[in-house]
Chain A
């Protein structure tokens, strides 16, 4: 020890030293470098998502969770029933056909022509559809297992008109011919010869000789 001591460092001295040590300013080109650095980054379409991530992230997370839930339910449902159960099926709906008002003459037209304004054109397809049609696989299975029945729309209309008028007692049979048309009458049948059948006689069976040996 030579007895020399550095003078005590005061707070002001320390502040001054620290200020001097940290007095470094960015170079003039620093801002330009930062901008270039940002420009060099790959353009991200998700930038706007990031900008509003505070609100959008939650929405995206919610949508994701909802999608996972829906998928889970769909998988569970399809695994539970590969083929539709009977109570899952309901009869298809036949299109409702309104019956037109009867003609003023009260005579049924000779040939029923379905009114085009109430009967859908084309065949009517009657299907047995699943009640819970949200599960597509079940619906597809129903379609495959129950073949469709096709009924012509004109037949549907004619039959429904017929049933409706019969129910209401408005069937007019006067238009039907009273006497058969001779031109279309069938030819007389040829006479049939009498059939002789010989009487059947039954004679009793003879006793078996060996019956006494038993």
Chain B
């Protein structure tokens, strides 16, 4: 292995080159997944990247048990989601304390090219926020990177049937909420 292929070499002097390479590969191929999972909760890129970064640092510390790719990604998704929820709660507490409002992220405009798209995205995020955590993580994972039911089940450690039913409920609930919110906005 060469220094250039594994930039974290200097950090883990006792890690052999094979492990170093394995972690680097998983870091590269899972970074988008982790950021998107965090973003689905926090809706701010910087916060999402902070949380994903911490999740990778934790994964690095426990890499001995996470060398298997699927296990690594499943652990990463769950850890990132949990840490993002913690960050969201902390943000809400801070916002309530400092600004008297409940959610900084809800007021932050997600990336979008137009005002109309931002409004639609805000509605969607509001609907997603209304989902329970179990339903939210399923619908988010199913929408990220084209995961199918089996893959979502593998990431969450759930049977495929459970994922299917939860995904159905989540989508149904989202559609109803979005329809209701759109109707309310039109009145």
Contacts and interface: CB of A to CB of B under 8 A. Distances in A.
Interface in A5-30: 5-6, 8-9, 11, 14-15, 17-22, 24-27, 30
Interface string B45-66: 1001100111011001111110
Contacts of B11: 35, 38-39, 41, 43
Contacts of B63: 50-51
B7 A17 contact: no
Contact of B179 (A2, A9, A30): A9
A53 interface: yes
Contacts of A49: 64
B125 interface: yes
A117 to B, nearest CB: 55
A22 B124 CA distance: 11
A173 interface: no
Contacts of A76: none
A45 interface: yes
Contacts of B97: none
Contacts of A20: 117, 121
Interface string A37-55: 1110101110111111110
A45 B14 contact: yes
Given A34-B53, A41-B57, A43-B13, A17 B120 contact: yes
A15 B143 CA distance: 7
Interface stretch (B32-40, B84-92, B157-165): B32-40
B4 interface: no
Nearest to A27: B49
B39 A22 contact: yes
A3 to B, nearest CB: 10
Contacts of B61: 41, 44, 50
Q: Name which of A2, A24, A49 has the most chain B CB atoms within 10 A of its CB.
A: A24
A100 B171 CA distance: 103
A38 to B, nearest CB: 5
B49 A18 contact: no
17 contacts: A6-B183, A9-B178, A14-B175, A17-B178, A18-B124, A18-B140, A21-B121, A22-B144, A25-B35, A27-B45, A30-B52, A31-B28, A34-B31, A38-B56, A41-B11, A45-B14, A53-B64
Given A17-B121, A39-B10, A51-B64, 16 more contacts: A8-B175, A9-B175, A14-B178, A17-B124, A18-B124, A24-B48, A26-B32, A37-B53, A38-B8, A41-B57, A43-B13, A45-B14, A48-B14, A49-B64, A50-B61, A50-B64
Interface of B: 7-8, 10-15, 19, 27-28, 31-32, 35-36, 39-40, 45, 48-49, 52-54, 56-57, 60-65, 110-111, 117, 120-121, 124-125, 128, 139-140, 143-144, 171, 174-175, 178-179, 182-183, 186-187
